[in-house]
Amino acid sequence: MLTTAKEILADARANRYAVPAFDCVEDVMIRAILETAEAKRSPVFVMCLVPKGNDWVYMPGLVRAVADQHDIPIVLHLDHAEELDSIKRAVDSGFTSVMIDGSKLPLEENIRITRAAVEIAHPHGVSVEGELGHVGGMDLEAAEHAENVLTEPQEVATFVGETEVDALAVSIGTAHGVYRSLPDLNIERLGELDAASRVPLVLHGGSGTPDEQIRNAVRAGICKLNIFADCRIAMCRGLRQAAGSLSREDPLPADVFGPIKSAIAQVVAEKIELLSADNRAGQSGRGGQSGRGGQSGRAGQSEAVQ
Ligand SMILES: [Zn+2]
């Protein structure tokens, strides 16, 4: 069932595990992610990067159409929105959580746009994630490499207090995309950030980070881990396997897409176990729908996501 980020991240923070969050850009990913998460009894974020064209209809539409058939908490999350128009459209499209990314802006402007996103989203029961500091790395078109700016602990209370975000993405040494050299996460800094934040912390750039560092980050306060590149690598592996095994001129669709879905499912299962998110679904998912829970923006739920 659909729920809000606020609800499942509260459980993750209380019980020191992290919820996996997968960027989905193709519908084939949605089924592999949801079926695997349900089999592992894990809560899960299905995330869309800011959609273009019909993706605004298909991606949230597909997730919303099947979410109630899966007995696990599912958050439909918009990842890395930089414009308030995207936040408005996400609210209208039934997302239950959004990220407003003002991390490239000076602190005051980051606070201003993040607060504005909260004012759009909260009256509809939609959770908001902000980012403080900047997680760099390679952009998706592999055209630009941005440097990391570590999050400053002394800015956390002001940012969270003035914006009223429900979750905070922090920069402690991960990067987006595929690493050029292995990261060395600043776990000590993460501990300081967690102590300073009254909301759960999020780590972007989870792909390719050594497992032991991820485990340490979860122990030190990370409650949501964003993953994209590892799924892209898995899809490529599945595609090569499928291409190598097809002998018919008219192969069955299952033979074309099966290895791709299996490769995604394997990564999803591994991440769920790495984050200790398996068998957590029952704790926050029982008792019917909660938060925004598949209803369309009921005013009056805003208290639930403050
Ligand atoms: Zn990110």
Summarize pLDDT for 64-97 with one digit per residue, the tens: 999 999 999 999 999 999 999 999 999 999 999 9
- How do 137-138 and 127-132 pair as beta strands? unpaired
**Looking at residues 208-219, what average pLDDT do you find?**
96
Q: 124-150, pLDDT tens digit by residue?
A: 999 999 999 999 886 777 677 788 899
CA of 228 to the centre of ligand 1 (A): 9
Task: Please give the pLDDT value at position 298.
Answer: 35
* Cα–ligand 1 centroid distance for 244 (angstroms): 33
Question: Is residue 304 pLDDT above 80, yes or no?
Answer: no
Q: Tell whether the model's pLDDT for residue 115 goes beyond 70.
A: yes
226 CA to centre of ligand 1 in angstroms? 7
- In CATH, what number does 5-285 get? 3.20.20.70
Task: Show the tokens assigned to 211.
Answer: 């497992």
291 has a pLDDT exceeding 50: no
CA of 289 to the centre of ligand 1 (A): 28
Joined together, the tokens standing for residue 249 give 């001129």
CB-count exposure of residue 108 (10 Å: 0-12, 13-18, 19+): exposed
Query: 73: CA distance to ligand 1 center in Å?
Result: 21
Please state the pTM of the whole predicted model. 0.90
Under 8 Å between Cβ of 272 and 42: yes
Instruction: Identify whether 11 is a catalytic site residue.
Output: no
Annotated catalytic residue: which of 11, 27, 68, 79?
Answer: 79
Helix count and strand count (H, E) for the chain = 11, 10
Q: What angle do CA 31, 101, 191 make, to 5 degrees?
A: 90
Phi-psi region for residue 163, left (φ > 0), alpha (ψ -120 to 50) or beta? Answer: alpha
Residue type for position 245: S
Query: Could you give the count of Cα atoms lying within 13 Å of 182 in the half-sphere of its Cβ?
Result: 7
Q: What distance in Å separates the CA atoms of residue 147 and residue 262, rounded to the nearest whole number? A: 34
- Per the prediction, the chain carries an average pLDDT of 91
Separation of alpha carbons 134 and 209, rounded Å:
17
Report for 25-29, 129-133, 285-289: range of highest mean pLDDT: 129-133
Residue 6: per-residue pLDDT: 94
Report how far ligand 1's centroid is from the alpha carbon of 243 (Å). 31
149-159 pLDDT, tens digit each:
999 999 999 99
Q: Which one, of 73, 75, 118, lies nearest residue 96 by Cα?
A: 75
